[in-house]
Structure 1
Amino acid sequence: MAANRRRLTVLAAACATAVTLGATALAVTSASAAEVPLKGYELTWGIKESYRTYVTGMAAGTFTPEAGATQAGDNGVFTFVNGTGSYDSEAHTVALGFEGALNIVSKAHGFELKLSDVRFDSKDARVTADVTKAGTTEQDVPLAEVTVNRAMTDMTTRLTKEAGDVFGSSSYAGAAGDPLTVVEKKAESPTPTPTGTPTPSAGPTGTPTSTPTTTTATPKPTGSTTPKPSPTEAATKGAISYGTLGWGVKQSFRTYVVDGVAKGRITVSGGAEQASGNGVFTFPDATGTYDTDADTLKASFMGSVNFKGHEDNGSHGLDLTLSDLKAEIDGGSGKLTADVDSLGEKSEDVTLAELRPKSADLTAKKDVITLDDVTATLTAAGSEAFGGFYPAGADLDPVDVAVALTADAELPDSEPTSTAGTGGGTGGTTGGTTGSTTGGAGTTGATTGGVGGNLASTGSEVPAGALGAAAAVTVAAGAGVVFAVRRRRMTGSAQA
């Protein structure tokens, strides 16, 4: 449901404006096409500094770039040019191939190799190249695994086993490589020279008195974000570009499910994430509208969270899923709704909580509206969703909302700011990634591939706080919820 709304919003925006990645205008020829063509990118990578030192030092060798590739001075890093490829606007991933080649030769140590057709794929999170050795070319050899970040600059790399084979030392396999950067490079545009004025010449120090300017921009797709158009100032009202909602539901409930007698697990999906230590949840990909003059905000978020516990012969007394979360703010009040699926019975748009922001004024800073620690109070409908064992008016975990009003705006650090949403006890930890689970007796390692799955997964983390003496009280409070739900399905079964 939320995904359909998101697609409609994105398609409508595509019809109205040329979507861009970073500061690059990308003409969208078909609103239904997921692939957006890219061109004019550069990849800069030094392989590994100690390797460069070895080649030019002990091996008395040389690096010779060709076909447009370059090397920075003082035996520096290499740049490959004219990158072309595509951006997947649904998966938020990029795939680029670059021009240029690099010859690496040492007669003293008897090696000669050539790297060409360098490629970067954010989905696979790696850089590859065609490698020519002894007259034989092997295509698309994976040279390094890349920890892709949203800016695609100074990305950490780790050399592969294949890289160890290519560069002649098994010690390189698994070793840290040089940082990798991929940026869009615009054509140089020299400063206009008045008619009749000679072209600026080098000054006394050899530095040109007038230097052509080069503008670079970095694509910023994010798992959790949309492609970014060229910078524009946000209007006082309009459509949300992207954003996140952070909420832990209720700490005592999380603790009960994972660490209590429910002996259950918590699973996030659809792009939602859970912080480590049985922490709070982050729901991504906001769509909706805002009006800072009227102090109103309506935002829908992707992702879902499932609470499951009290297993009995394959059946669960607790099986509760919250999805399609929506936050609505109108001045100093608001509401939080979700689709609720309890033991297979689904209710849509249930108002779970009344919201009360710290301020009635809805303001944007740097084209971002941020609402931290919004008070959330359980409604009567929310109490029913939890089986009636949390009374209406009970405090839930606070809500954090951050939405970008323009696609070039940067959200603040996605780490949840609330300290009330941390879990503890003996339960497992989660990797904070799509599809991850928090279990009562183990650890999870579910992760998404490539760029955090998609150049946007930032992975919210919250330190696990000690529950102390309060644990017994919070667990007891959460227990009633499960038992009430269980009675609906297992009529006549004894309460634990």
Structure 2
Amino acid sequence: MPVRRRRSTALAAAVATAAALGATALATVGASAASSASAAEVPLKDYELTWGIKQSYRSYVGMFGSFTASDGATQAAGNGAFTFTDGTGTYDPADNTADLAFQGTLVSASAAHHFEVTLTDVRFDSGAGEITADVTTVDTSGATPTKEGDDVPLATVAVTREMTDMATTLTAEAGEYLGSAGYAGAAGDPLTVVQKTPPTTEPTTDAPTQPGSPDPTGTETTPGTAPGTQDPSPTASTGTSPSASPSTSPSTSASSSPTEAAARGEIADGALGWGVKESFRAYVVGPIAKGAVTVSGGATQAAGNGAFTFKDATGTYDTDAGKLTASFQGAVNFKGHASGGTYGLDLTLSSLKATLDGGTGKLTADVNSLGEQTKGVVLADLKAKSADLGAAENVITVDDVAATLTDAGAKAFGDFYPAGTALDAVDLSVALTEDAQLPDGGGTGTTGSAGGGTGTTGGSGGTGSTVGGTGTTTGGTIGGGSLASTGSDLPGPALGAAAGVAVAIGAGAVFAARRRRPQAQPAE
């Protein structure tokens, strides 16, 4: 891929980048090339760039729409950062700068807020200290014309020697194309640029080192001591842990059971792990709802406003037929938008039940919204990776079951998300005998609340209601970060949604009144 050269900046930043490259791709470049102004540019390849743009932007898009990564781009699980691959470019030894272009297309879109933003041709220039991309922004309502730009500077980069977790600062252009003028000058997510080195199949102990490799920091590399060389380590562990190899004999817990569980019968115990939807949890405790998430009745929540675990399963199973029906104890309450002692959002999910038949099924729950209860609401359609429900040591485990919001589920959430929206994946684990051991984990959270405000626990009863968000808010944690209390770094439509929500509070229908504006103007 051809690389377009851009302006140079201070030599210090360029030297830092070249130093990192010198330990990998530049090991074969002669020392004379580093000091010669007329030396030819060195081709670079197999680089990857990982950048999340800005965490609050991902949360906003995930809340009202979705990301689609393709053509070599990927997104980390849990609405994480994006990686662009197959980076190629050049290293210029005359001024110690690297210019790389990456493959991948990233589309962020929301049908509810009428926007579609596409990023392609992502580039990193260490000399300029910037990230650029070709960007197209479409207002799908047709209210504003399409905006297109080539080599749009999205962020400046504080280049470091390692080129990992480099600080970024978003530009005015990023705010213009992403829909929020408040992004200009705001801190973006950290940037990492690394060379993807194929794994070696066996250690090499007698290969000669590269003498005289250039050291852009200004010191010569001693012949025979190339950067990054070290004693090879064995490719396999020398330890002999019993857990390192498959066991052909029954475990201690299994041996205590006189017989294997029957192919069909009643469930003895079990747990269901589910986060509902990460962006919804973030919204509840964030600067708009300023609320809290509370678990009760034996349910737990993982730290950091994480996923929930519902326990004490009862039900039936049939491993031969691939059928499972399991009901779980515990409840989770989402509460926010406090006004005059009442809440515009007060949603409780309890009595969760999961069914699987040949790999597909349903997730149901009793739903209490603003005091109105509906039992047995089918919240999501489930689809497991396999139809098999085989038991290991009398435990059936089915992880990463895809959950898709149903029409009834959409109504339960006040049409906050449309039917067909992907919810958090479901993890199921059920014990078929009283002495079977359920896997550890999943229930490591503590009963309580994850609130975005300074409210204190109050109230009682099965809903486990918690007063939260009525005091000063410093921001709700979202995947390790936080949003500003003013919400000023959210794109315009999110702030428009907040205004509509505030009006709806008085009517007691926070999600039903969807007075959202189309994305036309960025937030000021």
TM (norm. structure 2) is 0.41
TM (norm. structure 1) is 0.43
